Structure 1
Amino acid sequence: MDERHLVVISGGLSQPSSTRLLADRLAEATAGELHEHGVTAHVRVVELRDLAHDVVDQTLTGFARGDLADAQQALAAADAVIAVTPVYAASYAGLFKSFVDVLDPDALRGTPVLVAATGGSARHSLVLDHALRPLFAHLGADVVPTAVFAATDDWADAGGDDVHPLPERVRRAGRELAARVAGRAPTRRAGLYDAVPSFEDLLGGA
Structure 2
Amino acid sequence: MKLIAVSAGLSTPSSTRLLADRLAESVRGELVAQGHAASTEVVELRELAGDVAHHLVTGFPPPRLAAAIDAVTAAEGLIVVTPVFTASYSGLFKSFFDVFDPAALTGKPVLVGATGGTARHSLVLEHAMRPLFAHLRASVVPTAVYAASEDWGSGGDEYTDGLPARIRRAGGELAALMAARPAPAEPEDDVTALERQLADLRFD
TM-score clears 0.5: yes
2: CA distance, partners of 1:197 / 1:62: 32
Secondary structure of the residue that 2:131 maps to in structure 1?
helix
Match of 1:160 in 2: 155
Aligned length: 194
- The answer to which of 99-108 and 83-92 deviates more is 99-108
Q: Give, as a single letter, the amino acid of the residue that structure 1 aligns with 2:103.
A: D
1:83 aligned onto 2:87: no
Unmatched 5+ stretches in structure 1 = none
2: CA distance, partners of 1:54 / 1:160: 39
Q: Give, as a single letter, the amino acid of the residue that structure 1 aligns with 2:149.
A: T
TM-score for both structures, normalised by structure 2: 0.89
* Greater radius of gyration (CA): 2
* CA 5–39 in structure 1, closer or farther in 2 if over 3 Å, else same: same
Query: Do the aligned partners of 1:150 and 1:166 also contact (CA within 8 Å) in 2?
Result: yes
User: Considering only aligned residues, what root-mean-square deviation do their CA atoms show, in Å?
Assistant: 2.2
- How far does residue 187 in structure 1 lie from its aligned partner after superposition? 4.3
- How far does residue 185 in structure 1 lie from its aligned partner after superposition? 2.1
List aligned pairs for 1:57-206, cutoff 5 A. 57-155=54-152, 157=153, 160-162=155-157, 165-187=162-184, 197=190
TM-score for both structures, normalised by structure 1: 0.88
- How far does residue 186 in structure 1 lie from its aligned partner after superposition? 3.1
Unmatched 5+ stretches in structure 2 = 198-204
Secondary structure of the residue that 2:37 maps to in structure 1?
strand
| Cα deviation digits, residues 67-123 of structure 1 (max 9, x gap) | 100010011111000000000000000000000101111111100000000000000
Q: Give, as a single letter, the amino acid of the residue that structure 2 aligns with 1:153.
A: E
Percent identity reads 58
- How far does residue 160 in structure 1 lie from its aligned partner after superposition? 2.9
1: CA distance, partners of 2:185 / 2:20: 25
